[in-house]
Every structure is written in C-alpha cells, then in structure tokens.
C-alpha cells in the first residue's frame, strides 16, 4: 500500500503492543475527559456523548410537538364543515407542522445521530470542533423553541411550510408571522450548516489509523454525503429567506412582478434546497439501514461498494430534480422533459440500495427483533412511496395529481418510510450504547405494529382522496363528495400512530438510563467500533483498522483496545486530544488539542438566536446589542485557540511520534474554513442566478451600469486586498524579527482595502441612480453588495483580530494557522467581490461575447491560482515520500492553465479589433495580461520547491 503522507505502513505491525501500560494512565485519561460535576456544567459540556444525546432528544421533542399539531389537523379534517379549528388557526398549525417536521426534526435528527455516533464509529476521541457542535445545538434549541412558541401568541407563520410569495408578501401577510418563519428558519439552517462542517471534517480527518475510505463504515459514508449536500443545498434556502425578508422589510421587489421581480424565483431557490432535502434526510437513514440490516440478518452487506456508489449518485442527481415541483407553472417543454427524466433517474440509485437490503436479508438469517422490524417496515413503506414518486415524475400524471392529497400521501410515504422508521430502528439499535438499560423488546413490537398499521391506515386512503379531487392545504371541505369516510379512516390511523409514539415515550421513561456506571452494551452483536468498551473519552486506545467489520473480524480487538495496546492509550500531554489522520488512507498526521468546556459557545448561541428573534419584532436597537454580544462571545471563544505548544511532537503509542501542530491544507481548521467559504460562495452564486433570472424577465426596467472608472477602482482595491491576504501569512512564515507586525499590518490593510472596495461599489451605483425599490435590478444588485458587505465586515473584524494577536504576542511563525485562515478568508472575500463587480457591471450592459470571454479568463485565472496553491501544499509530500507524480502534475496543470490563459488573451485581443464596447475590451485585455503574468509568477513560485525536492 502506497503512503499518502510519507507515513510508513509497516509501523502498524507494532500493534497491538505487548508492554505493560504505566500506572495511573487510565485514571489520567478519565480525569481529563470527566463529565459534568456541577449543575451548570451539564449546560457547558461539549463532549459528543452529552451534546449528541441532547441533540437527539431535542429533535424527538420537536417530532412529538409536530405530531400533536398533525393530530389537531386530522381532527379538523375528520368531518366536512368541521368547526374544531378556525381557518387562521388551522393555517398556522398546518404551516408549523410542516416547518417543524422538515426544519426542526428531520434534518437535525439525523445530524444529531451523526454527532452522537461518529466519534465512536470512527475511533476518534471526539469530532474535531466539539464547541461548534455545542454552539449549533444550543442555537437550534433556543431558536427552535422560541419559533414554536410563536404559535401560542397567534404569531406563527400561516403561509405554508414553503412560504410561496406573493401570499407571504406584505400585501397579503402584513403581520410579523411570516417574519418569524423567515428569520427563524434562516437562522436554524445556519446551525445545520455548522453541524455539517463538523461532520465533513470529522469523517475525513479524524478516523482511526488504517481506516481508509474502502474501510469507512457505510453510516459514515452516508453522513459525509449528507453533510456535503447540506453545504450545497442549504445556502439556497438561506438566500431565499433573506431575499423575501428584504422585500418585506425594505420593499426591494425580488418577487413583485410589477417592478421586475418574479415569484417563480422563490420557487427555483426554495426547491433547489427543498427537493435535495428529501435525499438529505433519506441518505443518513439509508446509512443506518445498511448498518442495521446486516446485523439483524447476521451477514455482511451485499454490494457494499455499489451501495456507496448509489448514495453518491443519489446525492449528485438530486440537485438536478428541483423543478420536479414546478411542472404546472408553465416552464418550457424542454425544461419539463429534462426534470421529468431526472426525477425518474434518481430512483435508480435508490433502487440499488433497496435491492442490496433485500439481498442481504435473503442471504442471512433474519432476526425479527425491534430494530429489524422497523428496518423491514421502513423498507416496505419507502418502496411504496418510491413507486408513487415515479408516477408523479411523469408530467401528464403530475398535472392531474398536483396539489391534491395524492401528493400528501406520496410525501409521507417517502419521508416516514425513508426516515422515521429507520430512525426508530436506529434508536432501538444504538440506544444500548448510551443507556444502562435497553428499551423493551415486547413494548417495541407493539410500538412497531401500531406505527406501521397507523401509517398505512392514515396515508393509504389519501391516494384515493387525492385522485377523487380533494385539494391539499384546505382546512375544510363540503359533504357529499365521497371524501367523508376516507378522511375519518385517515384520522383514526393518525391517532393509532400517535398512540405508538406515546407508548415509545413511556418506554423511554421506563428504561432509558443515561450515563450510568456502565452501558447495556452490544446486545445485538454489531460489528462496528462503537460497540467496543468506551467511556466519555470514547475508546481507551484507538485501534488500527483492517476491515469493514472490525469487531466481527478481530476477536481480540475489544480486549486489546481496553488494555491500551493501540494508539493514544492515555493523555500524553494531560489534555483532551485526538489523532488527526489523512483523508484517503487515514494515516496519522498530528495530535490535535481539543478544547475544554466553557460557557462562551452557549452565550454566543443565545445572543445569536436573540439577534434574529428580536429582529423579528423590529426592536432594532436590542437586536444590534444582542448581535454585538454574540460577536464578543465568539471572538472570546476563538481567542484561546491556536496557543503555543510545549512539545513539538509526542509518542502516540508503539514508538510512533507525530507533531502536535499543523497548519495549511493538512490541518483540520483549514478544511473547515474552505467548507465555510464554499457555503458563502454558493449563496453568492445563487444570488448571481437571481440577478440573471430577473433580467431575463424584465430587461426593459434595467438601467446602464456606472462608468468603467468605478469598476477599475474596485478591481484594483480588491487586487490589493488579495495580495495582502497572501502576503500576511507568507511574511509570518519567514520568521524574522518583524514578521509578526508585518503580517498583522498586511492583513489589516487587506481588510481596509476590502472596505474601500465595497464603499466604492456602493457609491458608484448610487451615483448612477440605481434605486433598490424601483426594479429587480436594483434589488438584486443591492442584495449582492449587501452579501459582500457582510463578508467585508467579518473581514474587518478579522483584520483587527490579527492586530490584537500580534499586540498580545500571539503572532508566531510556529503557530501560523490563525493568520493563514484570516488570509484565506480575505482572499475569498476579494474574489467574491470581483465576481459581484464584474457580474453587475458587465452583464448585461457589456457585449455578450466580451463578457463570456472575460468570465472565462477570470475563471481560468482563479483555477490556476487555486491549483498551484493546492499542488504547492503537496510539496512536503513530494519531498518526504519521493512522489515524482506530483511534480509532473504541477507542471502539466500549470502548463494547461497558461495555454488556456493565452487562448483567452488571444480571443480578447481579436475581439478588441472589431469592437471597443465603451472601453471594455482594453480593460479585459489588461486584466487578462495581469492574470497570465500573475499565473506565470505563481507557477514559478509555487512549483519551484516541488521541483527542488526532486
């Protein structure tokens, strides 16, 4: 096996070690990872064993609350012309039911399951950012409870969980009900993104040594794909809620057709999130099914690699299906045909997983315990929902069934079969890992059959009511239409389902014993690392992984792990630590210092939630104060990070020594920053889509952009910011007497240049007479500038933060990570600002070909810089592992970029001979020349160390 980082795989043969472990080693480990000892420490705890349980418990609380709302709705619909609920109350309950189920239960529940299980499953002490997980949880809990409580004051949203404008515009929803949804859900999705960042970095960087991607547990694969999908999809709902709130608060007409907006834009943005969310919910549940079914069948999963590929394909195809919900809005026939085909194609990888589960059950000897019943029941229900999904993917049928109760039935078959039943299977299967007593098998069987029967009695008749013409989203109906009996049956089934959930709550109260002296353990004989003996520190020692099913394949593994015969058997520096490994082969790279519990993340979450919630009631001064307090708490939280290390390297077992500090692409912090910037970039790209989309609707309302001088000034300032962002960390790494002050000043100047560029852009547009309330152009341009201004503001705080680090003596070449991450953020902000400038100034005012060539040149330039940066980060690999392939890749990639840049430059020069386009062509040529020259310098600068390594 070739090495990914220069680590010698032969070192794995030293394990398990045979030496006797030092006295007191285990006691020290237990003391370092001790649980709460005072009442308030239960709140400030950050260990995944606590936060994961809190998270799952909160998600199930919201599941129960949303279920109670569903029972109220079914009671209202049981009889025609029923007066149980007034229309406005029903609309609020209907909206809250869908919103709580989708946003406060489904996604948080599976994310919570990942936070709870992944450290033990991967053999890590904890996920790499435990405070971030805790912050995400408290923000979710506080924000979610406050949002739900709006129902008791008549302030709950009433426009449906999809919040379509113009129904939710100020004209038709003048109160603050819609604002609670827009600000509350937008904020809660930020919490989900924080959790996704934690999961991605955790799965890729904190696996047990030897756990290469082909040995990664199927549930971890599912969580990794789930988190990546959140990073791509959730920015869309953040943007859509932000745009609608701006329209309601500031009268910017994004969705007002009379002023150049379009309500269809909301549907594109919302469903770009909304339909992938179905698969975001399904994939972790499918991962749980692929974990549980082999255990209950007592055999290995059939087609493991095919299942992984199917999950990857599901995640990819799901982003091409969003207009599946928009067949009736009048899209072009070509678009309808494409989305219809994609909607059917996405069922193929789901079918691969279903057949793999069936084959596994057939190949083994099925044990019908409670997890097995829920797994098989979920499989049956999900297949039924999938069949109706293929039906509604056919456009003629969808035209007939759209907005009928047939769609309600289809939705619930997919979501309950694809997520709720697998979640209950997971709870019964993994609860003995955290509880001293397992849940009752006898009660579990009653709960399953009541839930299975209740679901089908509730939703199977809805297919008929839908086909008989009953529309969805109505609070009552007239008698004599043949719907009466079917609705009574559905209501009876709903109460059966509710009874099953009630029995489950009682069973939890009877048997769930958290953090006892010992857990119930591996009562179902699972094969994963999570079933090894563990404590609050996860595993006593981190084993070398040799197969997909380590507990089944290595009979002595549990004994050796508990005896401390593998990696990191103690706390070598007396701190909370975990091993960070490489993303492909999981080779040990360095020892990460984990944070201790504190209250800053809790207060930060509370004040962040307060900022959004107080903004809803338009108490702007109080909201600003809460926001400033949140910033203070987060800065205070970050201040103690990146501290000096007393030891440069430590022995992590078997004589294997690893560094105690890393920066750059091999560090976990770098990965987290890059993922965060991808989220910001997705929001900006989608805002750019909104800009182009609204132009295509009403180009007659658009005015000419400002003159080219403002563009040149802005690009110049952004170039200065980008150079300072690169120069600051580079200066620090020189490790000269004044490196710290030079690095801090460069980053501060870069942040100041970003502020100046943003101000220049704003003032030039104002001088051109653009009014954000007058047209879709004004609204989208100011929205893009506002998004950029948000990043500029954060960059300014970071610039001040860098100066403060230097003033307090914390700017050191030995710990450059903080300065590197600030530089990375500032560089991204400069690039994002250039995108905003060029898009709004050159499209559509510039001649189209010049614009396309300009965009192509800038994309090649950006790819060039990114490529040489990433390749240069592998210089150490080339030097230590003697990997000439990387040197060749650097040369080939750089050569290809230079050829592409030359081609773009030639095309621009050719274009300049036939058109001037108000000075655009000379300007683009200048930028093209600058890009090519900078790219050439970058090639020499970045690849020279790699070449010299050979």
The string of pLDDT tens digits covering residues 670-680 is 999 999 999 99
| Residue 659 backbone dihedrals phi, psi, to 5 degrees | -65, 160
Cβ atoms of residues 218 and 357 within 8 Å = no
Cβ atoms of residues 871 and 886 within 8 Å = yes
- Average the pLDDT over 108-119 and give the result: 95
- Residue-level pLDDT at 889: 63
- Residue-level pLDDT at 36: 87
Q: SS3 for 651?
A: strand
Residue from 723, 669, 247, 298 nearest 731 by CA: 723
- Residue-level pLDDT at 574: 85
Q: How confident is the model at residue 190 (pLDDT cuts 50, 70, 90)?
A: confident
Judged against a pLDDT cut of 90, whether residue 822 lies above it is answered with yes
The string of pLDDT tens digits covering residues 432-488 is 998 889 999 999 999 999 999 999 999 999 999 999 999 999 999 999 999 999 999
- Residue-level pLDDT at 950: 42
Judged against a pLDDT cut of 60, whether residue 709 lies above it is answered with yes
Cβ atoms of residues 649 and 658 within 8 Å = yes
Domain extents in the chain: 46-511, 596-639, 663-845, 849-950
The string of pLDDT tens digits covering residues 845-895 is 654 555 555 555 566 556 655 565 555 554 444 444 444 555 566 666 666
Q: SS3 for 538?
A: strand
**Token digits of residue 843:** 């499209």
Cβ atoms of residues 46 and 595 within 8 Å = yes
Judged against a pLDDT cut of 60, whether residue 941 lies above it is answered with no
> How far apart are the C-alpha atoms of 457 and 349, rounded to whole Å?
29
Range scoring the smallest mean pLDDT among 427-431, 523-527, 636-640? 636-640
- Residue-level pLDDT at 868: 54
The string of pLDDT tens digits covering residues 117-169 is 999 999 999 999 999 999 999 999 999 999 999 999 989 999 999 999 999 99
- Average the pLDDT over 646-667 and give the result: 90
Residue 400, Cβ neighbours under 10 Å: how many?
Answer: 12
Considering Cα of 715, then 719, then 721, then 725, what sign does the dihedral take? positive
- Residue-level pLDDT at 243: 96
- Residue-level pLDDT at 948: 44
Task: Tell me the percentage of the chain whose pLDDT exceeds 90.
Answer: 73
Written as one string, the DSSP assignment of 448-478 is: HHHHHHHHHHHHHHHHHHHHTTPBSS-S---
Residue 22, Cβ neighbours under 10 Å: how many?
Answer: 11
- Average the pLDDT over 738-756 and give the result: 95
- Range 663-845: architecture per CATH: Up-down Bundle (1.20)
- Residue-level pLDDT at 324: 87
The CATH topology of domain 46-511 is: Cytochrome C Oxidase; Chain A (1.20.210)
Domain 46-511 shares a fold with domain 663-845: no
């Amino acid at each position: 096996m070739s090495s990914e980082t220069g680590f010698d795989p032969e070192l794995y043969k030293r394990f398990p070690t045979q030496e006797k472990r030092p006295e007191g080693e285990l006691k020290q480990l237990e003391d370092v990872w001790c649980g709460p000892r005072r009442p308030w420490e239960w709140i400030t705890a950050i260990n995944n064993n606590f936060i994961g349980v809190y998270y799952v418990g909160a998600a199930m609380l919201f599941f129960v609350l949303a279920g109670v709302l569903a029972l109220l709705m079914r009671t209202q619909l049981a009889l025609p012309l029923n007066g149980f609920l007034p229309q406005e109350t029903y609309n609020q309950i209907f909206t809250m039911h869908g919103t709580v189920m989708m946003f406060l239960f489904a996604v948080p529940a599976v994310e919570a399951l990942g936070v709870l299980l992944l450290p033990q499953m991967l053999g890590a002490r904890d996920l790499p950012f435990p405070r971030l997980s805790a912050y995400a949880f408290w923000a979710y809990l506080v924000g979610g409870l406050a949002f739900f409580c709006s129902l008791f004051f008549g302030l709950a949203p009433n426009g449906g969980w999809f919040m379509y404008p113009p129904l939710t515009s100020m004209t038709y929803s003048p109160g603050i009900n819609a604002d609670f949804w827009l600000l509350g859900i937008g904020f809660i999705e930020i919490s989900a993104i924080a959790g996704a960042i934690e999961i991605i970095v955790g799965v890729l960087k904190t696996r047990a040594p030897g756990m290469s991607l082909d040995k990664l547990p199927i549930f971890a694969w599912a969580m990794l794909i789930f988190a990546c999908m959140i990073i791509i999809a959730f920015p869309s709902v953040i943007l859509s809620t932000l745009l609608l709130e701006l329209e309601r608060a500031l009268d910017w007409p994004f969705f007002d057709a009379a002023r150049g907006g379009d309500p269809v834009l909301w549907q594109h943005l919302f469903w770009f999130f909304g339909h992938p969310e179905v698969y975001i919910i399904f994939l972790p549940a499918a991962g749980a099914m692929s974990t549980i079914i082999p255990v209950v069948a007592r055999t290995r999963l059939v087609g493991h690699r095919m299942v992984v590929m199917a999950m990857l394909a599901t995640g990819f195809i799901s982003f091409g299906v969003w207009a599946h919900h928009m067949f009736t809005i009048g899209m072009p026939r070509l678009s309808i045909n494409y989305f219809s085909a994609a909607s059917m194609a996405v069922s193929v990888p789901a079918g691969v997983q279903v057949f793999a589960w069936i084959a596994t059950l057939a190949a083994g000897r099925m044990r019908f315990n409670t997890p097995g019943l829920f797994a098989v029941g979920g499989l049956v229900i999900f297949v039924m929902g999938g069949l109706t999904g293929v039906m509604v993917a056919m456009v003629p049928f969808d035209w007939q069934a759209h907005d009928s109760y047939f769609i309600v039935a289809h939705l619930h078959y997919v979501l309950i079969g694809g997520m709720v039943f697998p979640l209950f299977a997971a709870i019964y299967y993994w609860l003995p890992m955290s509880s001293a007593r397992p849940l009752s098998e006898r009660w579990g069987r009653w709960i399953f059959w009541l839930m299975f029967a209740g679901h089908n009695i509730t939703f199977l008749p809805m297919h008929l009511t839908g086909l008989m013409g009953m529309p969805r989203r109505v609070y009552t109906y007239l008698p004599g239409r043949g719907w009466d009996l079917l609705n009574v049956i559905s209501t009876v089934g709903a109460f059966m389902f509710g009874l099953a959930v009630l029995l489950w709550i009682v069973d939890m109260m009877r048997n769930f014993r958290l953090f006892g002296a010992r857990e119930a353990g591996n009562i179902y004989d699972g094969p994963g690392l999570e079933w090894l003996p563990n404590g609050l520190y996860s595993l006593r020692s981190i084993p070398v992984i040799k197969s997909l099913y380590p507990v089944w394949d290595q009979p002595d593994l549990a004994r050796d792990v508990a005896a401390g015969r593998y990696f990191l058997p103690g706390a070598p520096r007396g701190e909370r630590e975990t091993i960070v490994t490489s993303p492909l082969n999981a080779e040990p790279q360095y020892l990460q210092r984990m944070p201790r519990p504190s209250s800053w993340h809790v207060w930060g979450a509370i004040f962040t939630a307060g900022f959004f919630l107080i903004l809803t009631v338009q108490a702007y001064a109080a909201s600003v104060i809460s926001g400033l307090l949140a910033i203070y708490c987060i800065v205070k939280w970050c201040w103690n990070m990146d501290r000096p290390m007393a030891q440069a390297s430590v022995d992590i077992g078997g004589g294997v020594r690893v560094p105690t500090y890393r920066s750059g692409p091999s560090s976990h912090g770098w990965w987290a920053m890059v993922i965060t910037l991808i989220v910001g970039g997705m929001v900006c790209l989608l805002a750019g889509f909104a800009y182009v989309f609204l132009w295509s609707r009403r180009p007659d309302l658009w005015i000419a952009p400002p003159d080219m001088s403002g563009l040149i000034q802005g690009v110049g300032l952004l170039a200065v910011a980008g150079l300072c962002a690169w120069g600051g960390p580079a200066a620090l790494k020189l490790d000269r007497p004044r490196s710290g002050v030079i690095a801090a000043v460069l980053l501060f100047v870069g942040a100041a240049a970003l502020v100046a560029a943003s101000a220049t852009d704003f003032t030039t547009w104002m001088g051109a007479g653009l009014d954000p309330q007058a047209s879709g152009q004004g609204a989208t341009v100011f929205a893009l500038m506002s998004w950029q201004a948000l990043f500029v503001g954060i960059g300014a705080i970071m610039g001040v933060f860098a100066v403060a680090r230097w003033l307090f003596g914390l700017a050191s070449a030995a710990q450059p990570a903080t300065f590197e991450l600030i530089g990375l953020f500032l560089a991204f902000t400069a690039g994002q600002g250039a995108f905003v400038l060029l898009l709004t100034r050159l499209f559509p005012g510039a001649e189209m070909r010049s614009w396309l060539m300009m965009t192509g040149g800038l994309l090649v330039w950006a790819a060039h810089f990114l490529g040489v940066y990433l390749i240069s980060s592998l210089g150490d690999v080339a030097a230590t592992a003697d990997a000439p392939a990387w040197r060749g890749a650097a040369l080939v990639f750089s050569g290809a970029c230079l050829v592409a840049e030359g081609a773009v430059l030639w095309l621009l020069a050719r274009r300049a001979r036939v058109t001037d386009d108000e000075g655009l062509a000379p300007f683009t040529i200048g930028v093209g020349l600058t890009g090519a020259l900078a790219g050439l310098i970058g090639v020499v600068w970045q690849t020279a160390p790699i070449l010299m390594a050979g």
